[in-house]
Chains A and B, each alone.
Chain A
Amino acid sequence: MKTVFPILGVLTAILLSYALYEALVAAPTEQTMGDVQRIFYYHVPSAWTAFILFFVNFGASVFYLTKRRPAADIVALVSAEVGVVFCTVVLVTGPIWARPVWGIWWAPGDIRLTSTLVLWLIYVSYLVLRRFSSSGQTPTLAAALAVLGALCVPFVYFSIWFFRTQHPQPVMGGGGSIDPRMLHVLLINWLAFSCFAFLVCWSRYRLERLQREVDQAHALESLLEPRRSAR
């Protein structure tokens, strides 16, 4: 296990570098927007990765609610945390792309933008609950919140099908179309970011498991200390 992680880390770094080269150099320049359209190769894969992580969070939360396995609770926490990081990237790169293309940083009331912000806020609330609540019921409450939060994910994705919005149509499974070379670069970037997300989740999972073991050791030490002092 100790050798697998560095090997995967190096492979992911190579893949991310190749994906960056493809996005900045190899991908064709879009005729209307020009080079700024290349933000698409970071914006969209980050959104897809965030959605997948939120679904992992949903699955792990349901599993925790039914089976009460601590490992499922850790998976839920880790996937939500890394998902929020990717969703933050979406919320930052989106306005940077919108400014030169739409002429505004943010379209107030736009359903896709607003629902993505709400989704981000739901998962930030989830993490705040996990961080600051010390009750034994916290994992259960967080899992219930995660189930509700996951309902928002399909709404965010499909919102542009059902509402009038400034946001472009989805490039896959929707009304939009894309040049095959652009699609190739998009999928390479998605693969690279998915591998990166997997490795981050893995290291974060190990950290969380270790943290819980240390907390248990501290609790045990606190229980034993009065007996030691009494001797």
Chain B
Amino acid sequence: MSNNGYLFAAYAATWIIHIVYLGTIVSRYSRLKREIEDLKKPGVRS
């Protein structure tokens, strides 16, 4: 790999790590939203 290849790999890896983590936060938010909607339904247990 060329020097620029290593540079690209490091920057790409940084953003992949951050984007994957942000993805987990978004998916947890969606799951929680569904739970809240279930709780709001009368007589329905999640």
Contact = CB atoms under 8 A, between A and B. Distances in A.
A214 B17 contact: no
B7 A89 contact: no
**Dominant SS at the A interface?**
helix
A211 B32 CA distance: 7
B46 A218 contact: yes
Interface string B1-18: 101101101110110011
Contacts of A6: none
Given A214-B32, A214-B35, A85 B21 contact: yes
Contact of A221 (B4, B18, B21, B45): B45
A93 B22 CA distance: 19
Given A39-B7, A42-B10, A218-B46, A204 B25 contact: yes
Nearest to A33: B3
A221 B44 CA distance: 10
Contacts of A54: none
A93 B13 CA distance: 7
Contact of A200 (B9, B21, B35, B36): B21
A207 B14 contact: no
Interface stretch (A57-65, A96-104, A144-152): A96-104
A36 B6 CA distance: 7
Contacts, number: 72
A89 B9 contact: no
Nearest to A92: B13
B11 A42 contact: yes
Contact of A35 (B3, B13, B25, B29): B3
Interface of B: 1, 3-4, 6-7, 9-11, 13-14, 17-18, 21-22, 25, 28-29, 32, 35-36, 39, 45-46
Interface of A: 20, 24, 33-36, 38-39, 42-43, 46, 82, 85, 88-89, 92-93, 96-97, 99-100, 196, 200, 203-204, 207, 210-211, 214, 217-218, 221, 225
Given A207-B25, A207-B32, A214-B35, 17 more contacts: A36-B4, A39-B10, A42-B10, A42-B14, A43-B10, A85-B21, A89-B17, A92-B14, A93-B10, A96-B6, A100-B1, A100-B6, A200-B25, A207-B28, A211-B28, A217-B39, A221-B45
